[in-house]
Amino acid sequence: MYNQQTKQRSQPRKISDLELINIWLQQIPPIEQSSHLYIAQMFLNFVRKPLEKVTSADIIAFANVRSVDSHHRESDEQKRLETINSLLKFCQQTGILPTTQKQPTTQKKTLSVMTTNFKKSASSEDKIKNYRTTRKMQKKPLNWYKLLNLQLASFLLIIFVLFMAISQLFRQVGRSANGDENESVTSAVMPKIDPTKNWAYPVNVPRIRAFLDTISVTEGTTGPQGYYRQYTGSHFSSFEDHPRELKCALSNGKELCSDAAGRYQFLSTSWDRFAPVVEAKNFSPIYQDRIAIELIREKNALKDIEEGRIEEAFRKLYMVWPSFGETEIDVERLMPKLVATYEEKLALYKSNRE
């Protein structure tokens, strides 16, 4: 009978980590049990492995990473390390975990790991005696070089993540705070109208230039910044290509979304259809003007503009630029204003030529 009992006690009982933690908590003073349980559960969630497979590197990483965002007084570095060391030492003394498992030790200035011996109360002796084994604790020296390297790598990773987050935050704040100030950096300079240098036919025709300006007035894209304008009034920052950004805004209580961009509010689909026609190399003003003319040409309105039939051109193009009017009735209602705007722009180009 005695031999059988000895053999049974020499074999560790297979129990879950949670059961083991509950047994360990019984030898902790009641006032500290809640904080110890919290730290133990936090540790299990962090390592995501059984206690019997935990290494000293896991414990050190747990202390380093968790210390960044911890708001619990009980879970500072020293407290957590003391708690986890106590748990693992208890597990080893009971024979439930192998005695070859290492306890983490580092320099006092870094992690302040507890190196004092674990003291058991009389009541804890009674609670764990059924789990003791005859195996002896085997202490192996820790590889200090590896541990220090691990700490340094963890520290540098944390610093890098924080740096990237702060940089991104400053960029966003800068964009929202500066607003229109950034437009001066990305503003497009309106080229001077010089038919012999800057513009080829038919862009250099005063009537066509005046009509293009009229489009910008109705679309709300006048001035050099119009070439950068997006739907909703925001601005993109590069002429490398059509921005292809979907912007949304409320209109009559409904949310409308569009990727319209540039002085003539091109949709990306329209731009992609006509860019090969004019051999557009980018989304710069000169190509925006040329593709606007191609849209006019497609609706057979280019000759109307050149020959002065402006009202007919507006009627043909309201489906392309709804700012002329969303229906035929709207176009006729807005026609006096459209023609007046066109005549005002045309007068400027005629005076420049004289």
Residues classed as catalytic? 219
Report the candidate in 41, 313, 315, 352 with the shortest Cα–Cα distance to residue 198.
Answer: 352
d(CA 170, CA 83): 39
Backbone angles phi, psi at 229, to 5 degrees: -75, 145
Report the candidate in 230, 221, 194 with the shortest Cα–Cα distance to residue 209.
Answer: 194
* HEC letters along the chain: CHHHHHHHHHCCCCCCHHHHHHHHHCCCCHHHHHHHHHHHHHHHHHHCCCHHHCCHHHHHHHHHHHHHHCCCHHHCHHHHHHHHHHHHHHHHHHCCCCCCCCCCCCCCCCCCCCCCCCCCCHHHHHHHHHHCCCCCCCCCCCCHHHHHHHHHHHHHHHHHHHHHHHHHHHHHHHHHHHCCHHHHHHCCCCCCCCCCCCCCCCCCCHHHHHHHHHHHHHHCCCCHHHHHEECCCCECCCCCCCCCCCEEEEECCEEEEECCECCCCECHHHHHHHHHHHCCCCCCHHHHHHHHHHHHHHCCCHHHHHCCCHHHHHHHHCCCCHHHCCCHHHHHHHHHHHHHHHHHHHHHHHHHHC
Q: Is the CB of residue 258 less than 8 Å from the CB of residue 231?
A: yes
d(CA 183, CA 172): 15
